């Protein structure tokens, strides 16, 4: 499930950056919607704004989009059986991509 969530976050970030580079729509909305539509996290997404965060930065030629998603953990205390520290409630999955602006 963690690998699938990572693929979804990468795909959503690239798609959002592509939208922003072409001035098609809000990168935050398109990226967040795509992550939520994929129903990652066993459909246990927390309230809006806490599970998925999208930040953007841009200059005259490039746009950079960073997406951070908190993937819920099924068994957070599993590592304690082997003497390690517990995971917590979620794994942070982050991806950053930069696209060249096509239109101004």
User: What pLDDT, in 10s, does the model give residues 28-52?
Assistant: 777 777 777 775 554 445 554 467 7
Where do we find the tokens 């999208």?
54
Statement: the pTM of the whole predicted model exceeds 0.85: no
Q: Torsions phi, psi of 103, nearest 5?
A: -130, 155
Q: Give every residue of the chain whose pLDDT is below 50, as ranges.
A: 42-44, 48-49
């Amino acid at each position: 499930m963690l690998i699938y969530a990572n693929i979804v976050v990468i795909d959503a970030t690239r798609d959002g950056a592509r939208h922003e580079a072409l001035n098609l729509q809000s990168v935050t909305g398109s990226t967040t919607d795509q992550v939520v539509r994929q129903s990652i996290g066993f459909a246990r997404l927390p309230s809006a704004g806490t599970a998925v965060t999208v930040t953007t930065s841009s200059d005259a030629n490039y746009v950079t989009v960073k997406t951070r998603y908190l993937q819920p953990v099924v068994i957070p205390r599993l590592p304690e059986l082997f003497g390690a520290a517990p995971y917590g409630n979620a794994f942070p999955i982050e991806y950053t991509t930069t696209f060249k602006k096509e239109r101004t």
